[in-house]
Amino acid sequence: MSIRATVKSILGEENVRVLRRLKRRLSGKWTKSAKPSGLEAISNDLNKLALHFKTDKWGTHRYTQHYQRHLQHLKNEKFNLLEIGIGGYNRPGQGGASLRMWKQFFPKAQIFGMDIQDKSFVDEDRITTFIGDQSDPSSLNAVADKIGELDVIIDDGSHRSPHVLTTFATLFPRLKDGGIYAVEDTQSSYWPEWMGSEDRDAPNTSMAMLKRLADGLNYEEFVDENYQPSYTDLNVVAVHFYHNLVIIEKGRNAEGTNKRKALKQRYAKS
């Protein structure tokens, strides 16, 4: 009988396996990794992170499931994320929950927040806050100048339509191609008390502006020969509407059209 067989018969199969595992550990070949715990264990799940940090992006709302879908490709990338509105209003020491959530989900990203109140107590490694007024283009541009390249912009500010429109008009042109722009809490668009309108066709609400973006995706199909495409017509490639949340993808929108072939009679006249 070989030495190996003799040892196995004396110690038994289970004890031999234990000795083998011990030998691998001592030799540095042990590969079994400990299961992650704490924040690390939920760092890939935005819903769970939202609950942990107590942001209303999950629970009160159902936003993080959509953010996970649209931002997952940036999970381990270096990029800049700006969120308008830090939370807590003017209550001392309140706010910053979603900024902390973003920091945990994106381990290589720089997270920026802007609020009309001083939220500098939130600042830490990879989180920087600014005081700014989203109803003032010069204030928005000053913050954007300090950040530099903008890859993701989230408007979770006042939710007042005039402010949402001003912020979008100012910052969307500064968003990087391939970037994501999100507008939260669009329900306020329908509330006169929040500078919205009961009239769903009112032209100056945040939802009216966002719905126009959907038309603009198809500007090449318009038959008005005098129509001049807007900046957003040319630079929005997708608009995703969810309950109280709209996510916009930026890129070059110029796929072409077959309208002259499909509408031969109309264009034969020209």
User: Active site residue: 61, 66, 159, 163, which one?
Assistant: 159
Does residue 52 have an active-site annotation? no
CA distance 102 to 114: 14
Which residues, in sequence order, are CB contacts of 118 under 8 Å at separation 6+? 131
Show which residues are catalytic: 159
